[in-house]
Structure 1
Amino acid sequence: MVAYELSLLVKAASKPNLVNIVKRTSEMIMDNKGYIEKIEFLGTKPLPLKISSHGRTHNRASYFLIHYHTSYENFSKIQDNCKRDTDIIRPVIYHKTTPSEITCTLNEEIKPPAYRADVALMIKEGEERLPFTVKLKRKRDAALKNYLFN
């Protein structure tokens, strides 16, 4: 099963109505062979722009995040049902990715630059590279050595 995150903008309503809307959405996810990991309520806030949905204009909305798992086949069914719900202003579904493992390099970064391996590598690369002007000068010098009329 794949992990998804459903971001819901729900029309401003009383608390019992909000509970019914989220419960209805959650049951719809479970009916489509998904299971819910977590539901987050982010609060009721004014929208940054007026949003028109289902023939009405909305200025305020309640923000919800629903973390759930389901198969890829049921993804489009859930998205379609959320778009048809008149109480949901804007449903957006994100595919959750697992964060990559980060190794701690604090002990290496605390060292002075002269003792760090990556800085030593950069210094070595810089010494191997020549500035463009030096390369041009070497080309001109080589051309003068081959000049026959000297």
Structure 2
Amino acid sequence: MPLYEVTLITKSLSKADLVNTIKRAATTFLDNGAVIDSMESLGHRDLPFRRTSKLLKEPTYSTNYFLLNTYMSIKTMNDMTKLLKNDRDLLKIHAVSEHEKPTRPDSCDLHEFLKPPAYRKSVEELRENQRLGHFPRMRLYKRVEREWKAIPKSYPIPPPRK
């Protein structure tokens, strides 16, 4: 069974209601065959954007965040997210597999970032693969055309006719 990080975002509740909500979610996990490895409260935080509660459709601006590390099968995870999305005290539930988490690069590229932008390898690749769209190309063409017309032209004098 793969390890999942399950994020539970609850409404702003009293302590007793919050305990009942977390107990209800945890027992639902355990009843469906999941093994809870650890549970962590991330505290009471402001939401990045307004959410509406399911029952009364009232706006919610701050919530409680909880993080559960659980071992469960993929089918159980899909069933649990569908089941807990119907809970009226939970605003959001999201499960992320440990395999899906982005990993940090092993090497440090600080010396590359300290170079001026013109000498960076990434900028050189961008310049090599650069393609101009229609409008920038036309702007460039008109600018070159204006500069060309601004240059005084001297026409050669033709030889006299015989």
Q: Percent same amino acid among aligned pairs?
A: 28
SS of the residue corresponding to residue 85 of structure 2 reads helix
Render the CA deviation track for 1:82-120: whole Å, top value 9, x for unaligned.
Answer: 1100100111111113898x98x9xxxxxxxxxxxxxxx
Q: Mind listing any 5+ residue stretches in structure 1 that lack a counterpart?
A: 106-150
SS of the residue corresponding to residue 25 of structure 1 reads helix
Q: TM-score, normalised by structure 2?
A: 0.58
CA distance in 1, matches of 2:75, 2:88: 24
Q: Mind listing any 5+ residue stretches in structure 2 that lack a counterpart?
A: 108-162
CA distance in 2, matches of 1:99, 1:36: 23
2:138 corresponds to: none
Larger strand share, 1 or 2? 1
SS of the residue corresponding to residue 21 of structure 1 reads helix
1:39-50 matches, within 5 Å, as 39-50=39-50
Q: TM-score, normalised by structure 1?
A: 0.63
Q: How many residues align?
A: 104
Q: Which runs of 4+ in 1 moved over 2 A?
A: 97-100
2:75 corresponds to: 73
Q: Does 1:6 align with 2:38?
A: no
Larger helix share, 1 or 2? 1
Contact 2:11/2:53 (<8 A) preserved: no
